[in-house]
Amino acid sequence: MSTAPVVAAVDGSKDSLRALDWALEAARRRTAPLRVAHAWQYAAWAQPDVLVAGPPGPDDDPVLDRVRVHLAGRTKGLEVEYTAPVGAPVVVLPELSSTAQLLVLGSRGRGGFAGLLLGSNSLAAARDAECPVVVVPRPGRDGGTSHAFRAAGEHGELPDGPGPRVVVGLHVDSPDEVALAFAFTEAALLGARLRVIAAYPWPVTSLAAPGEPIPPTFDQSAVEHETRTLAEGFLAPHRKAYPDVRCDIAPLPGDAAGHLVAASGDAVLIVVGRHRRRLLAPARMMGSVTQAVLLHAASPIAVVPPAPPEE
């Protein structure tokens, strides 16, 4: 059985070439083919030459020609395929994901406004793709150096150790086993440590009706201990599957997005689930934590879709 490819979406921008570099190494780590895709979305009626001859194929696409130059001498031993599907990227990229093990793209493309932190194509791919999506941000995001995210993450520092670090978020009330498995796999492939951030709401607010006794105050150390205990239970099978991955748990009070973004400053990858599945959700969605991480994290972000529903 052939190995599913790592797909890199390119449009000729510097952002997409940075994502291509990340995809190249990801394909090499997985011993998987690299498929480079440039979506053509130009209206034939606006371009007479396209109307007559049709859009260029992968062998005469100027964007893919630039990619070939960019990759020259760097793909030895790696199977590389080029494709130029016709259609809007917001449609084409999710279609490409159906046969891929990973879809990689930059946070911004050629279009849109200069001040945007996340392009519409990246957002659509992260929301709709059938495989995990890695969004590679452009350099210069402050991530954990901003005041708000630094404040959110200041309680969660773990002892630093040598080597790279992958960070994954864990919601102990509804753990995302697919995202956890992906994070352990990536940490193993990268030879990285894994930090699991398990945020819990704090302070806990309790309301009492007039005349009712005031509820007992919550002990934060007890809440933290319970969060850690639950996290350890969810991680046990993954630790067993990946005994060589060093895994640290950080039970942290407050906003999960703030802690994940704060941790991105010195991480090689942030892993988040796309959204907790809801029975009555009308369409694919992304949670607020995932969106905040996509917008602000300084490191590449992997958005992992939920497991398909059982028949």
Q: Which of 124, 130, 158, 138 is nearest to 251 (CA)?
A: 158
What is the pTM (predicted TM-score) of this model? 0.84
- Same domain membership, residue 155 and residue 118: no
Q: Give the tens place of pLDDT for each residue, 40-57.
A: 876 544 445 444 455 667
Domain assignment present for 309: no
DSSP code at position 177 = H
Q: How many CB atoms lie within 10 A of CB 170?
A: 25
Domain-ending residue, one of 95, 115, 136:
136
Cite the beta strand spans of 87-164 per DSSP E: 102-106, 133-136
Domain assignment present for 233: yes
Q: Give the tens place of pLDDT for each residue, 113-145.
A: 444 456 788 888 899 999 999 999 988 766 554
Least confident of 151-160, 230-239, 277-286: 151-160
Rounded-to-integer distance, Cα 183 and Cα 151, Å:
25
Q: Do you know the residue count of the chain?
A: 311
CA 260 and chain centroid, separation: 12
**27 in Cβ contact with 74 (< 8 Å):** no
Domain assignment present for 204: yes
278, pLDDT greater than 60: no
Structural domain span for residue 273: 143-304
Q: Which of 255, 54, 275, 229 is nearest to 148 (CA)?
A: 255
Strand pairing report for 133-136 and 301-304: antiparallel
Domain-ending residue, one of 136, 170, 187:
136
Q: Give the tens place of pLDDT for each residue, 218-257.
A: 688 888 999 999 999 999 999 999 999 999 999 999 889 9
Helix (H) or strand (E) holding 195: strand 193-200
- Same domain membership, residue 148 and residue 125: no
- Same domain membership, residue 150 and residue 121: no
User: CATH number for the domain including 16?
Assistant: 3.40.50.620
